[in-house]
A and B are shown apart, each in its own frame.
Chain A
C-alpha cells in the first residue's frame, strides 16, 4: 500500500467534527435524562443507571474510541467481554433482586 493510500485510509478512519458534536450532544441529553430519572425514586434511578450509562459508554467506545472503525475481531472481543460482564450481573441479580 502506498504512503498516499495509507494516509487516505487513516483520514477516512477519522470522523469529522460534526459527528463528534452530535455524539457530544447525545451524551449531554442522556446525562440530563439520567439526572431526571434519579429524581423519580430509587427504582427508576437504578434502572436509569443500568440502561443509560452503558448506552453512554457505548457511544464513547464506538465513536470517541474508534471502535466503529476497527475490524470485526476487535468488535467481537469487546462483545464477548461485555457478554461476560452481563452474565456476572445477571447471576449477581439472582441474589440481590430476590433477597
Chain B
C-alpha cells in the first residue's frame, strides 16, 4: 500500500476568508460537517449519561429519595429523547458517514454540500428545541420517549415543544438520507462498481433509504399530536372517537425501522474494522451487502411487535411475530460472516478490534433477547419490565454505542492526525465492559423477576440486583470518562499519526492523516474490490 503526498492543506486548516469558529460553522466540507456532528453528539451523549447515572442513583434504595416521582418521569423521558434522537439515530451516519462516505467511494464531497451543512443546522435547532422543552411551558415532558397517546395529548408538561423538536430533527435525518443516496448513485469514482464499494457504503445506503421512507411518517404523526393538543381534532383521543392504537402503529412504523437506522451503520463500521485487523478479505461480501438491504426491508415490516399486549388483533400479533423472527436471519448472516472473516486471519489485536469484538458479543446478547421477545408467549410475560430496558441497552449501547467507539478508535488517527495511547484505551475498556454487563445483565434478571420499568421505587425482593446494576453504572461511567479523556488528551498531546496506522486497504488509508481539503490529489480509478490484501493474494 502506498500513500501519496499532497500539495493541498489539511481540512483542519482555515484557508478561506473566515477563521476559527466561523470557518467551521459555515464550512460545507463534508469532513468538517462530520466533526461538527461528532462534537455536538458527544456533548448530548454525556448529558444523557448524566441523567442515566442519576436515575441509577435513585434506584440505590427501595424508597423515594433524591428526586420526586414526577422528576423521575421527566428524567427517563429526557434520557430517552436525548440518547435516541440526538445520539444513537444520527450517531454513525452523521459523523462517520459524512466524514468517510465520499472518501470511501473516491469523491471530493457529498452530492449536496450546502444541504449537508443545513442538515446539521436542522439537527442543532431540533436539539435546542428539545432541550428548551425541559425548562419552558409546563416543564419537562413525562410521557417516555415514545409520546404515547392519549397521555401525551393530555399531560400539562411541555410535550408540544419536545415533539416539534423531534419533527425538526426528522428533517435533518431525511436530508442526510437524500444526500447519501445521491452521493452513492452519482459520485462513485471511475471503476467503483456497486460490488466494489466498501461495505460501510452499503450499510449507509440501506440506512439512507429507511431515513427517507420512514421518517416522514413520524413527522406527520408528531404534527398530528401537536394539532390534537392545540385544536383537539380527535385522531388519537378515544374520548373524541380517535384511536390510540393508531398512534402506536404510526409511531412504530418509523421508530422500529429507526432501530435499524441506528444499528446498520454500526454493522457497516464493524465490517470495515474486522478485515483490516484480520488482514484478509471479508467473508461473504455480497451476503453482507444484501443482508443490509434485507434488514432495511424486512425491518420496516415488524413494527407492531412493540404492541403485542396493546389489544391489537390476534392475526396482527401472529403476522408481526413471524416477521420479527425472519429479521433475525440477515442479522445472523452478518455475525457469522464477521466470525468467518476472523477465522484463519492474521489477527492484529488493536483497540478498534477489541471494541469491535465487544460489539459482536454484546450485540449477540441483545439480538438473542430480541428474538425471545418476538415470541408471543414470552413477550406477554416480560412486556414493560426491566428485561426490555436491558435488551434495548444491549442492542443500542452494547451494539451501536460500542460500534461507535470502535469506529472512533479506528478512524480517530485519520480524522485528527493524532494517535492515542493504546494502553489507556485498553485500561478504559475493562471498567466499561464489566460495568456494562453488571448494569444491563442485572436489568435482564430484574425483568425476568417481574420488576416493571419506569418505577421510581422498588420492592425489597428486587433490591440486591438494583444495587448490582447501580454499582455497574459507576464502573461504566468511569470507563467512559477514561475513554473520552484519553481521546481528548490525544487531540492536544497525542503523537502524530501515520497515514495508514492499521494497514487498511480501503481508500481512506491511501490519503494523508488528516485528509486534505479535497480528499484526493486526483480522483482514483478503482480496479478491484475493497478488501484486497497483498499478502493474502500472494
Contact = CB atoms under 8 A, between A and B. Distances in A.
Contact of B313 (A81, A87, A88, A95): A95
Given A87-B301, A88-B253, A94 B313 contact: yes
B249 A95 contact: yes
Contact of B319 (A81, A94, A97): A94
Interface in B428-455: none
B313 A84 contact: no
Given A84-B213, A88-B253, A95 B312 contact: yes
A94 B307 CA distance: 13
A93 B311 CA distance: 14
Nearest to A81: B213
A91 to B, nearest CB: 6
Given A84-B213, A87-B301, A95 B253 contact: no
A50 to B, nearest CB: 16
A33 B246 CA distance: 28
A92 B314 contact: no
Contacts of B301: 87, 91
A95 B246 CA distance: 10
B213 A95 contact: no
B304 interface: yes
A99 B300 CA distance: 22
Given A87-B301, A91-B304, A98 B213 contact: no
B463 to A, nearest CB: 39
A96 B300 CA distance: 19
B245 interface: yes
Interface string B296-307: 000011001000
A81 B300 CA distance: 13
Contacts of A95: 245, 249, 304, 312-313, 315-316
Contacts of B312: 95, 99
A91 B319 contact: yes
Contacts of A87: 301
Nearest to B213: A84
Contacts of A84: 213, 300
Contacts of A91: 301, 304, 316, 319-320
B522 to A, nearest CB: 31
Nearest to B307: A95
Interface in A56-99: 81, 84, 87-88, 91-92, 94-99
B255 to A, nearest CB: 14
Nearest to B312: A95
A48 B249 CA distance: 23
Per DSSP, chain A at the interface is helix
Interface residues of A, number: 12
Nearest to B323: A91
Interface size class of chain B, counting residues whose CB lies under 8 Å from the partner chain: 10 to 19
A7 to B, nearest CB: 28
A81 B316 CA distance: 23
A5 B226 CA distance: 52
Given A87-B301, A88-B253, A94 B316 contact: yes
A92 B249 contact: yes
Contacts of B304: 91, 95
A99 B315 CA distance: 9
B249 A98 contact: no
A98 B311 CA distance: 11
Contacts of A88: 253
A95 B312 CA distance: 6
Interface string B383-420: 00000000000000000000000000000000000000
Nearest to B318: A94
B319 A98 contact: no
Contact of A98 (B245, B300, B313, B320): B313
B314 A98 contact: yes
Contacts of B249: 92, 95
A28 B228 CA distance: 32
A94 B315 contact: yes
A14 to B, nearest CB: 28
Interface in B199-250: 213, 245-246, 249
Nearest to B314: A98
A96 B312 CA distance: 8
Nearest to B297: A84
A92 B248 CA distance: 11
A98 B315 contact: yes
Contacts of A81: 213
A40 B204 CA distance: 49
A96 B304 CA distance: 12
Nearest to A87: B301
Nearest to A80: B213
B226 to A, nearest CB: 22
A88 B216 CA distance: 14
A81 to B, nearest CB: 8
Contacts of B311: 99
A91 B482 CA distance: 47
B76 to A, nearest CB: 28
A98 B314 CA distance: 8
Interface string B245-263: 1100100010000000000
Interface in B306-354: 311-316, 319-320
27 contacts: A81-B213, A84-B213, A84-B300, A87-B301, A91-B301, A91-B304, A91-B316, A91-B319, A91-B320, A92-B249, A94-B313, A94-B315, A94-B316, A94-B319, A95-B245, A95-B304, A95-B312, A95-B315, A95-B316, A96-B246, A97-B313, A98-B313, A98-B314, A98-B316, A99-B311, A99-B312, A99-B313
Which 3 pairs from chain A and chain B are nearest by CB? A98-B313, A95-B316, A94-B316
Interface of B: 213, 245-246, 249, 253, 300-301, 304, 311-316, 319-320
